[in-house]
Amino acid sequence: MSLADIIQLLPDSVANQIAAGEVVQRPASVVKELIENAVDADSTQIKLIIKDAGKTLVQVIDNGKGMSETDARLSFERHATSKLKTADDLFAIKTKGFRGEALASIAAIAHVELKTKRPVDETGTLISIEGSKITTQEPCSCSTGTSIAVKNLFFNVPARRNFLKSNSVEKNHIIDEFLRVALAHPNIAFYFYDDEVEEYRLEIGTLRQRIVAIFGNNYNERLVPIEEESTIVSIHGFVGKPEFAKKTRGEQFFFINNRFIKSAYLNHAIQNAFEHLLSRESHPSFFIFLNVDPSFVDVNIHPTKTEVKFEDDKSIYAVLRTTVKMALGKNNITPTLDFDQEQSINFDYKPKDGIARMPQIRVNPNYNPFDSENNKGHNFLQNQNNSIRNQSNKSNWEKLYESHQNETETSVTSSSFVETIEPTQEVISSSWKNDSTESSEKPTIQIHNAYIISPIKSGFMIIYQQHAHERILYERILNNIENQTAASQQLLFPETFEFNSTDAALLNELLPEIKTLGFDMDEFGKNTFVVNGCPVNISESQIKPVLEEIIEQFKNNSGGADLKLSRNQKLALSMAQRVSIKAGKHLETSEIRNLIDELFACQMPYATPTGKTTFITYTNEELEKKFKI
Ligand code: ADP
Ligand code: MG
């Protein structure tokens, strides 16, 4: 009597479902695999159609080489590929696909309909598969090329289906994948339809034309070409001029042998090439293509393949950095800033250690540009005559401070302080506030245009101005949103802004909330918004950066989003981060006092909304110890 053997081979359908988990995480994965197959099939036209963010339909139609009846049937078998024949080929991959598992995986977890015909064939082949089972296979009439429709993704994997995010999130992933392939292949026309609506129409052209077609006409003037041939790598593409660098990391694309990749290491090379040309928080856009001998790249690390390993990455880093640096130099891009265009209030701006930073606007909550006769036409003057403008700004500004100082004095004494204060901190804030000396007489100094030092009863404190101001603005803006009291200033001339369709969709979704910030804006045709008014505490030139910051905040799980902030909190955070006084900004004594007063009128003065320290203290005791008194 022998015990029954218990090891069994998994049926193919089960093995495919398991593999599918690796290859297909979401509708965007299907989009990627199908489009890449279409590219590999030498198509010149590729059409992507989605419904319901790809959850009910992802269809890709190409005019490529098609498949024979047998190949069509085989294409759904696991490890069936026409792209690798020997193990050696693995080390020199030129096509996008090579594992031969995409179609098998997709067919295991969706309803798939394939129609395909080769140029030489009279009739094509139709195959329908549901959860790896073929339900139809018959000749059909169709045009040359291949159409694959993937319906009801994850119909048999409820756990996966339930894990999918909202339609706007899933669609963003799809757009990302679509654009990555579309950028890599300007020699192929791409069309993208979402539920019958045409989202992108990208005709065959040059790389520059493709970038402009995707990101908008204003990109044309922003692109600096780069080009380099060396023995280990050849590089071509574009980097964005530094003055158009963004707070968002959005438009950064690396392609190795036409395959989109992410590489923090190469990113660093670019950032390094832009050294001294960018402020600390902005990121250049780039569209960079690296070509290396395929046998020196290992794309095989992960099935979804955005990571690569390549030999000699140090040399590639060096070549890339130098190439970009030289291109920037050649195009005479020096660290200049056009203050007049960028900023309406920018007197006494002093770049610290020669690094140009964007001047930041200072904010006064009581500032209403329409209050006084003098202020009227402020925006208008700004465009008319700079010298008049600057004078009027300066005198207005001083007035602002006069009125504001009076107010803070009353508000400081009357504001009730919060309960949640740690004891030592309470001492500090109350010692600042209750000190019998007028706040205007308390000595304060600013050092390195970044830190403020001021004595307190029990010692002294050092405030980091940028963090302090971020906290102040955050609370004020949040308060305005929640009480719907954000004031809006009307623009003399409404401005329109264009966004890429991902960002535009997100903005649309957030529009009601953005309005509570004081933006008087509406959608204005495809991906365009018209702004009639903006919050009183930002200048016209800050409208776009603030909106971009909001988009970024809601797009990525970066920075503040990790903190599980509410939507209102995120909005307030975006704006506070964007318009706060930055380190490097010289402050007048009155501004410093104001900053301190307002900081200690905050509910939570000790840290920024993202948890960074706003001030530290040294007690007399600590000082005495240090000096051995
Ligand atoms: P891989 O792309 O890794 O080879 P896939 O599962 O994605 O694996 O595709 C399997 C095979 O099906 C491909 O190798 C190719 O021969 C064929 N195929 C898939 N899509 C197309 C298409 N759009 N046009 C022509 N052939 C295709
Ligand atoms: Mg493939």
Q: What tens digit of pLDDT does each residue of 434-446 get?
A: 555 555 567 889 9
The residue whose CA has the least distance to atom 19 of ligand 1 is 37
Highest mean pLDDT (candidates 25-29, 116-120, 395-399) = 116-120
- In terms of Cβ atoms closer than 10 Å to its own Cβ (0-12, 13-18, 19+), residue 83 is middle
**What is the number of the ligand closest to the CA of 63?**
1
DSSP 582: P
Q: Where are the alpha helices (DSSP H) in 147-263?
A: 158-163, 167-184, 207-215
pLDDT of residue 480 exceeding 50 = yes
- The two beta strands, 57-62 and 111-117, are unpaired
Ligand 1 atom closest to Cα of residue 36: 2
Q: Which atom of ligand 1 is nearest to the CA of 145?
A: 24
Best substitution site from 24, 31, 32, 40 to test ligand 1's pocket, by max atoms within 8 Å of Cβ? 40
Q: Which residues of 94-122 are buried (b: 16+ CB within 10 A; e: fewer)?
A: ebbbbbbbbbbbbbbbbbbbbbbbbeebe
User: Residue 628: how many CB atoms within 10 A of its CB?
Assistant: 5
100 alpha carbon – ligand 1 mean position (Å) = 7
Phi/psi for 246 (5° steps) reads -120, 160
Residue 148: nearest ligand to its CA? 1
Take residue 26 and report the two structure tokens written for it. 């979401």
pLDDT reading at 313 higher than 70: yes
CA of 75 to the centre of ligand 1 (A): 6
**76 CA to centre of ligand 2 in angstroms:** 11
Q: Which residues pair with 534 in a beta bridge?
A: 489
**Please, are residues 113 and 59 in contact by the beta-carbon 8 Å criterion?**
no
- Whole-model pTM: value is 0.56
Matching residue, tokens 């020196």: 296
Q: Tell me which ligand sits closest to the C-alpha of residue 75.
A: 1
Mean per-residue pLDDT, 174-202: 96
Question: Which residues sit with Cβ closer than 5 angstroms to ligand 2, an ion?
Answer: 37, 97, 102
Structure tokens at 337: 């800033």
- Nearest Cα neighbor of 203 from 192, 218, 194 is 192
For residues 86 and 100, the model is more confident at 100
Is the four-CA dihedral 276, 277, 282, 283 of positive or negative sign?
Answer: negative
Q: Could you give the CA distance from residue 207 to residue 87 in angstroms, rounded to a whole number?
A: 34
User: What does the pLDDT average to over 201-211?
Assistant: 95
How close is the Cα of 187 to the center of ligand 1, in Å?
A: 20
Tell me which DSSP letter residue 503 carries: H
Task: Note the ligand closest to the C-alpha atom of 84.
Answer: 1
Q: Report the atom number in ligand 1 closest to the C-alpha of 104.
A: 6
Single-letter amino acid code for the residue at 108: A
- Ligand 2 centre to CA of 15 (Å) is 18
| Atom in ligand 1 nearest the alpha carbon of residue 95 | 2
Q: Which amino acid is at 102?
A: A
- Residues 70 and 149: their CA atoms lie apart, in Å, by 19
- Return the residue whose CA atom lies nearest to atom 12 of ligand 1: 75
Q: What is the pLDDT of residue 416?
A: 28
Q: Which ligand approaches the C-alpha of residue 38 most closely? A: 1
pLDDT at 571: 87
| List of residues 6+ apart from 232 with CB closer than 8 A | 292, 296, 312, 315, 316, 319
Overall average pLDDT of the 398-427 stretch: 33
| Ligand 1 binding pocket, CB closer than 6 Å | 33, 37-38, 41, 62, 64-67, 75, 80-83, 97-104, 146
Assigned token pair, 526? 């495809």
pLDDT at res. 152 = 95
Which band of pLDDT confidence, cut at 50, 70 and 90, is reported for residue 349?
A: very low
Cβ neighbourhood burial of 537 (10 Å; 0-12, 13-18, 19+): buried
Q: How far is the CA of 504 from the centre of ligand 1 (A)?
A: 34
pLDDT bucket at 9, cuts 50 / 70 / 90: low
Residue 333 pLDDT > 50: no
What are the CA-CA distances from residue 377 to residues 396, 479, 493, 533, 547 (Å)?
12, 29, 12, 15, 25
* CA 120–ligand 1 middle distance (angstroms): 18
* Among candidate residues 81, 270, 62, 216, the one with its CA nearest the CA of residue 148: 62
147 C-alpha to ligand 2 centroid (Å): 14
pLDDT per position as a tens digit, 598-624: 888 887 788 888 878 888 888 888 888
Asked whether the beta carbons of 288 and 322 are under 8 A apart, the reply is: no
DSSP, collapsed to helix, strand or coil, labels residue 18 as: helix
Atom 25 in ligand 1: which residue has the minimum CA distance? 66
Map residue 20 onto helix, strand or coil: helix
Question: Radius of gyration over alpha carbons of the chain, in Å?
Answer: 30
Q: According to the per-residue pLDDT averaged within each range, which of 286-295, 456-465, 485-494 is highest? A: 286-295
pLDDT in tens, 49-68: 999 999 999 999 999 999 99
Say how many Å lie between the CA of residue 193 and the centre of ligand 2.
22
* Mean per-residue pLDDT of the chain: 77
Give the contacts of 498 (CB within 8 A, at least 6 positions apart): 216, 218, 527, 528
In whole angstroms, what is the distance from residue 158 CA to residue 180 CA? 29
* Across 363-385, average pLDDT: 35
